[in-house]
Chains A and B, each alone.
Chain A
Amino acid sequence: GNSVTQMEGPVTLSEEAFLTINCTYTATGYPSLFWYVQYPGEGLQLLLKATKADDKGSNKGFEATYRKETTSFHLEKGSVQVSDSAVYFCALKSGGGADGLTFGKGTHLIIQP
């Protein structure tokens, strides 16, 4: 079956530091890959996505590249801000007909001023 593995937190960084949150997956076929962010007290929001190999998703300074050869979709940001503090979830949608998402456990990111 499908599965997503992401680094567990909390991850604590100083403002303006470089961020990487690792995500690897196992899936049949050619899944679509997503990063969701959950700010305190809010629902999950789509941060970025990639639907095929070598695609790069980007949004709000965050990037992730769909690497089929390493089955990875690592999230990166060059300079984090305090406002980036949140929980980040890596997820995939199978290439088949099912719509439901398979999520990783989430990574709590804490940015200190």
Chain B
Amino acid sequence: GAVVSQHPSRVICKSGTSVKIECRSLDFQATTMFWYRQFPKKSLMLMATSNEGSKATYEQGVEKDKFLINHASLTLSTLTVTSAHPEDSSFYICSARSQAAGRYNEQFFGPGTRLTVL
């Protein structure tokens, strides 16, 4: 099946620093990748959609200068949380969509990255 990895799985950083999270599709090409954020006991909330080679589309209320998304290749997307603050602490999950036939509407999810900002 299609596998999506995220790195790191956990990160702790000091307030004011920037953190980069990687999302990779390991065995398929993903023209579209999605970034979600999950708060405790809350649903996953879509932050942005990124298409390879173009700028990401951010959901309403998500600061694009705060959460920088780059999708430079068909297998890698990165999310950089800039000048992180404690309120940015959360569980960040990426997903990738294959363009292969038969995969209509299906997204494959990474295991998530737990960010803690001190």
- A28-43: CB near B (< 8 Å → 1, else 0) gives 0000101010000111
CB pair B44 A43 closer than 8 Å: no
**Interface residue tally for chain B (C-beta within 8 Å):** 24
Instruction: Give the interface of B toward A (CB within 8 A).
Output: 4, 32, 34, 36, 41-46, 49, 59, 93, 95, 97, 104-112
Q: How large is the interface on A (under 10, 10 to 19, 20 to 34, 35 or more residues)?
A: 20 to 34
CB pair A41 B105 closer than 8 Å: no
Given contacts A44-B44, A44-B93, 12 further A-B pairs with CB under 8 A are A36-B109, A44-B109, A46-B106, A46-B107, A49-B105, A93-B105, A99-B49, A100-B34, A100-B49, A101-B46, A104-B43, A105-B42
User: Is A89 part of the contact surface with B, judged by Cβ < 8 Å?
Assistant: yes
Residues of B within 8 Å of A100, CB to CB, are 34, 46, 49, 59
User: Is A103 part of the contact surface with B, judged by Cβ < 8 Å?
Assistant: yes
CB pair A51 B105 closer than 8 Å: yes
The chain A residue with its CB closest to the CB of B94 is A43
Bound-state Cα–Cα, A71 to B70, Å: 37
Residues of B within 8 Å of A36, CB to CB, are 109
CB pair B34 A99 closer than 8 Å: yes
Residues of B within 8 Å of A49, CB to CB, are 105-106
> Given A49-B105, A93-B105, A100-B34, do A42 and B43 touch, yes or no (CB 8 Å)?
no
CB pair B43 A4 closer than 8 Å: yes
Residues of B within 8 Å of A32, CB to CB, are 105
Bound-state Cα–Cα, A91 to B110, Å: 17
Residues of A within 8 Å of B59, CB to CB, are 100
14 A-B pairs within 8 Å (CB atoms) are namely A4-B43, A32-B105, A36-B109, A43-B4, A43-B110, A43-B112, A51-B104, A98-B49, A99-B32, A99-B34, A100-B46, A101-B34, A101-B44, A103-B43
